[in-house]
A and B are shown apart, each in its own frame.
Chain A
């Protein structure tokens, strides 16, 4: 059976919406405040992810690209969880 998670998705997209969280969950509170977005991918579909490497304010419709980043560390002896975030495309 084919799971949705096996589907290849585009690493490029645009911001569908975003918010700046002031109150974060425990494992993320060291990073707060941070920007969370729903990204509309160029090949279709949307994902919920943090925005990273921001130099200034963002807007709905801004282009972003996927990067691998550390999401959280579960304490000194816990897991280090990696995943995806999105950043403004690097200038050529």
Chain B
């Protein structure tokens, strides 16, 4: 059974101090159902990374179904760290493709900002290996810092070479009314920013944000009757790598990014050149560079070259539109919801309904969600 997206909705990404996890999820879920012209769905799959540690809350499927008054439906959450949104989409895709579920609502939600400082750092670090990394005081940002330093050392690349990725993200986020940080980034500011885990700085790592995004999936053969512009899911692929960075033969090669993208392209039966826009896991600029290399968009050690000239080649109207609504850096990073934000943003692009964020003429989008520096990677290819 082929699968299409017939509804999409999302909240702003912000510090939503006056709103709870369930309220954010319900707002996005209702918006997606309304967009599809539906009042209910047969199943609800929730992508969330840190409900247990940020919010002391599990069993989000039933919680959110209840909040939305979808009494009795199949509902549960899918967890794979920051790739939770991506695997929830995968779960919805499998359910509809199998013929077991006719209409699936997939919601990604994260409520990060109710805890602050070291408590939030602890709550986020549970996605690392607790026995070997976490116990030694490692954090996800520190792991990214170590990969970035090694990359700069091995390939002789300076810090400023990554700047264009952040400039591009903020250029796009500045015109997205739902983005968390809508400021533009000046050239030269990146290399002067305060360090969090050097060489990863405040202007490099994505900010934690609260938010929810949702999509509605159904069989492609009935999608045309529901929505004027259904978006087809051409393929879906989840791959994993060695869990810890230290155990990978080459920590500068994101094997699961390469596997997941090549499998998705092969299953969609398209060439990489047919992809019109990319939403990838740009939570740190080094991940953008390494992902572009692993997907074959540049040779090893040259992924940063896409950031040259303020990211001119990755702008919305350029060769390879990237992070078109601001990406993790400017739209904000609602961890386990980020994969569904990517899906909603891609749907708007492929419908031609992205407003000021529109990438002209985009027909095919590749979205990729990642956890733990590539230990879980989810790729979907969408076509309008």
Contact = CB atoms under 8 A, between A and B. Distances in A.
A28 B117 CA distance: 12
A48 B149 CA distance: 15
A31 B118 CA distance: 12
Q: Chain B, interface size: which category?
A: 20 to 34
B118 A25 contact: yes
Interface in B108-146: 117-119, 121-122, 125, 132-139, 141-142, 145-146
A48 B125 CA distance: 14
A26 interface: yes
A46 B153 CA distance: 18
A72 B132 CA distance: 14
A27 B135 CA distance: 10
Contacts of A48: 132-133, 136, 138, 244-246
Interface string A20-39: 11111111110100101110
A73 interface: no
B278 interface: no
Contacts of B138: 36, 48
B52 interface: no
A71 B118 contact: no
Interface string B150-181: 10010000000000000000000000000000
B148 to A, nearest CB: 8
B52 to A, nearest CB: 16
Given A37-B146, A48-B132, A22 B196 contact: yes
B29 to A, nearest CB: 32
A19 interface: yes
A23 B196 contact: yes
B121 A26 contact: yes
Contact of A71 (B135, B141, B150, B244): B135
B273 interface: no
Contacts of A1: none
B120 to A, nearest CB: 9
| Chain A at the B interface: SS class | strand
Contacts of B117: 29
Contact of A38 (B137, B196, B199, B245): B245
B318 interface: no
Interface residues of A, number: 31
A28 B121 CA distance: 10
Contact of A23 (B121, B133, B147): B121
B99 to A, nearest CB: 41
B124 to A, nearest CB: 8
Contacts of B195: 20, 22
B146 A38 contact: yes
Contacts of B354: none
Contact of B118 (A17, A23, A38): A23
A49 B136 contact: yes
Contacts of B141: 21, 23
Interface string B182-215: 0000000000001111111000000000000000
B247 interface: yes
Interface string A34-62: 10111000000111111000000000100
B137 A50 contact: yes
Given A46-B247, A48-B244, A25 B136 contact: no
A47 to B, nearest CB: 6
Contacts of B194: 22
A19 B145 contact: yes
A21 B145 CA distance: 9
Q: Looking at A20, A81, A85, which has the most chain B CB atoms within 10 Å of its CB?
A: A20
Contact of B197 (A22, A47, A72, A81): A22
Contacts of A71: 135-137
Contacts of A28: 118, 137
B245 A19 contact: no
A45 B142 CA distance: 20
Contacts of A60: 149-150, 153
Contact of A47 (B118, B119, B246): B246
Contacts of B118: 23-26, 28-29
A21 B197 contact: yes
10 contacts: A17-B150, A19-B199, A20-B195, A21-B139, A21-B142, A28-B118, A48-B244, A48-B245, A71-B136, A83-B136
The 5 nearest A-B residue pairs measured at CB: A19-B145, A17-B150, A25-B122, A46-B246, A28-B137
